[in-house]
Structure 1
């Protein structure tokens, strides 16, 4: 059971024991990875191999003691001049169709949220300046399994991803990263299940168009990990809603998208073969996210296209036509990811509807999950960012 030791004094005791365990295991990990043939990937350095072991161990401890608590928006607003935080007003009029039905079932509604501007600022060092007529922008949705993470510069994976994109994609001078509401489930109070994050993502997209003045064609919606499937959900909602006030963006950029929220493990698939080469196996083993994301929705929704467009449980016939109204898309995956196969499935299903030229795919050898957000994962991180830059140049 996840978070069995989230209460004090058990939490402090578990953290202490866990830290001691890591120090005890370090020589074992070193011995296990000393010879290249023994490592998860022969091409990895011993340092890379030890980092993967350490992250998995630290994540395991976190999943027994508690996730980082999100900062209240009011507190984030106090440092807006430094962090680029801005408020985003809710858009209940844009919540229609399936998403309205899911929201009613899970008793969630549109609320005021926020987000962070990265990159160029306006006169007087002001953020959120009106867009120039031809200005392009990236709208980024952070990862974290819908239960942790932030769009804030203080959240290092988001900052590393965005800074890398700004460095390698010179056509964009700024990025807007949404601070969507995070989900929570037992043993903590239940809140913000699906489609809460999507409701917030819709509001953030509308903010860029109606308040800042960006042309939808000049917006690339990007997302990493959970944010990647959230970007897909936004495009699907736009297509299904068919509202004149909610047009499709110019493109989608999906970085290690969580394309299978059910975390299915077909025999011989990457969920099994890449367990040692990825740092998220403890996430999958804990099983906290799927029921937390579902809320009151039926368990079967985990294997439906809204939550799992790359699910192996779905047949290609069930997803046929789903992506016909989507903008051109780039999917960046790591060959060493546990969830690699679901991303390949998503790629194939999108190409079947949109054509191969409209769905570009890059898979970086030896790269684990969400590698653009970790500066230590070189040279794979730079290889992925350069692939993104080339794709943007070709748009």
Structure 2
């Protein structure tokens, strides 16, 4: 039963008997390729091409591996299947470049994106982050980007101008009702196994999330492994959260934290850290295929390995995401709730929308997470999508991706306000001014319908948007 399975995750420090990772693995010194090993690359390419050809033929002759798959999913899963067995052919730089190929896919249209760089402040953080916080001197910088759907941006511009005019009380009350649906801010934490990807690379997720939820989205670029190890990534996420709540004055109850894969785990780690150290929690969380168990102990790592797009990490330390993320602290932190949230206690956490596919290797641990949180009294909305793979929301050609974002809209715009602990507030003029200064400047750019971003500058963006309104 579920309760029996959850007992394996009640004791941080003790690996489940089914763990698929050796806690004695150590980080390697790096990638070394000899000249005479060059022949391995064309062999790898030939094997991939042969496998792809066979899968395509099989798809058309005998049908897809999962009944609802189109040819696109057959091709994508064929290219990714078992790729970890060839990790010796690459280093971290090559993997990151390969992951960035996803950025060549046309992006969703109708959004404004503003890159932001900010200094990391010393915030007198407590707990596991106290030492890292003490090392900050105000010179280190983090970056990220604001993503705002065009319709929301136009509405915010109109609303911001109107609220800076003297109005009688009754008109102000009407304005309150109009503004409260635009007061959500989403902090988005990207995935990528802790060692790859970026805020910009995940616009396939953040742009639809802003458009469907009618919310401003801030996606942060936290430091990546192996250059930074746990809990450095959590430190960056916590600092970003407090920049939104303390510096920009966004009320915590207006915030929703969201993330995919490793980013989903960092969302949970953020929630656990805030609760454990007495900080105010956000209003809710949206988790796309969160990676919650670094011990790789659940059965779906085997049963879904033939279908999913993320490969099972290899048996050695080279390019092993867990080894790179935890570094020399692997044995100490492998079951720490901030690294493997499935081992945590979820009492007092805010409502969560959790989405996963039944064909992904993380399926079982996500189901266990949802049950464990529900048993702890958390309002959990778990959605499992048939035949869907890891972070399927990033594939716009899938109908279920649209369904998933529609569910996000319902959760953020309607359901969450009724089940979260404190009602979201209408953002006051000071907060709106802070957000406008952060988003509306000469760094803003428009994402066109063909996915190309144009660095137009603030005035040209205003003119561009005004023309769109006139043409509508």
Structure 1 residue matching 2:341: 3-state secondary structure: coil
Equivalent position SS for 1:93: coil
Provide the rounded CA distance (Å) in 2 between the counterparts of 1:109 and 1:235.
25
Tell me if structure 2 keeps the 8 A contact 1:261–1:308: yes
Question: Does the 8 Å CA contact 1:63/1:286 hold for their aligned counterparts?
Answer: no
Partner of 1:75: none
- RMSD, matched Cα: 3.5
Note closer, same or farther for the CA distance 1:284–1:57 as it changes in structure 2 (3 Å cut): closer
Q: Residue 329 of structure 1: CA displacement? A: 1.1
Change over 3 Å in CA distance of 1:169–1:13 after alignment to 2: farther
Partner of 1:159: 203
Which of 60, 67, 75 is 1:50 aligned to? 75
Q: Is the 8 A contact 1:139 1:219 kept in 2?
A: yes
Aligned match for 1:25, one of 47, 51, 55:
51
Report the counterpart of residue 74 of structure 1 in structure 2: none
Distance (whole Å) between structure 2 residues aligned to residue 234 and residue 323 of structure 1: 12
Where does residue 167 of structure 2 map in the other structure?
none
1:221 aligns with 2:257: yes
2:134 maps to 1:86: no
Matched, 1:117 2:146: yes
Instruction: Supply the distance in 2 between the matched residues of 1:14 and 1:4 (Cα, whole angstroms).
Output: 18
The partner residue of 1:209 within 245, 260, 283 is 245
Alignment of 1:111-190 (within 5 A): 111-119=140-148, 134=180, 135-152=183-200, 155=201, 158-170=202-214, 172=215, 174-184=216-226
1:210 partner SS: helix
Q: Deviations over 1:16-53 (max 9, x none)?
A: 4433332233322224434456x431222344222210
Q: Which residue of 1 aligns with 2:283?
A: 250
TM-score, with structure 2 as normaliser? 0.65
Structure 1 residue 323: deviation in Å? 1.5
Gap change, CA 1:163 and 1:385, over 3 Å in 2: same
Match of 1:264 in 2: 297
Post-superposition offset of 1:282: 4.5
CA distance in 2, matches of 1:3, 1:370: 31
1:11–1:258 Cα change, 3 Å: farther
CA distance in 1, matches of 2:348, 2:198: 29
CA 1:120–1:169: 2 relative to 1, 3 Å: closer
What is the Cα deviation at residue 362 of structure 1? 0.7
What residue number does 2:326 align with?
294
**Matching residue of 1:331:** 354
Aligned residues of 1:140 and 1:175 also touching (Cα < 8 A): yes
What 5-or-longer segments of structure 1 have no aligned partner?
Answer: 72-81, 185-190
Q: CA deviation at 1:381?
A: 1.1
Contact 1:169 1:389 (8 Å CA) reproduced: yes
Q: Any idea what SS the aligned residue of 1:296 has?
A: helix
**Alignment CA distance shift 1:45-1:33 (3 Å):** same
Match for residue 399 of structure 2?
Answer: 379
**Aligned counterparts of 2:77 and 2:184: Cα–Cα separation in 1:** 36
SS at match of 2:123: helix
Residue from 229, 239, 249 that aligns with 2:275: 239
SS in 2 for 1:235: helix
TM-score (norm 1): 0.77
Deviation of 1:371 after TM superposition, in Å, equals 1.1
In structure 1, the residue matched to 2:9 is none
* Pair 1:336–1:96, CA change in 2 (3 A): same
The structure-2 alpha-carbon separation of the partners of 1:149 and 1:63, relative to structure 1 and needing over 3 Å to count, comes to farther
The Cα of 1:284 is off from its aligned counterpart by 5.9
Q: Which residue of 2 aligns with 1:188?
A: none
1:190-211 deviation digits (Å, cap 9, x = unpaired): x311111110001111111222
* Residue number among 364, 386, 392 corresponding to 1:341 in the alignment: 364
Q: Between 334-343 and 324-333, report the one with greater CA deviation.
A: 324-333
How far does residue 3 in structure 1 lie from its aligned partner after superposition? 11
Could you say what secondary structure the match of 1:178 adopts?
Answer: strand
Whether the aligned pair in 2 keeps the contact of 1:147 and 1:289 (CA below 8 Å) is yes
Kept in 2, the 8 Å contact 1:91–1:202? The answer is no
Secondary structure of 1:30's match? Answer: helix
Deviation at 1:108, TM superposition (A): 10
Taking the aligned partners of 1:367 and 1:108, their CA distance within structure 2 comes to 42
CA contact 1:335–1:367 (8 Å) conserved in 2? yes
Write the distance in 1 (CA, Å) between the matches of 2:228 and 2:311.
24
CA deviations over 1:324-376 (Å, ceiling 9, x no partner):
22111111111111111100111011111124xx1111111111001112324
Alignment CA distance shift 1:257-1:23 (3 Å): same
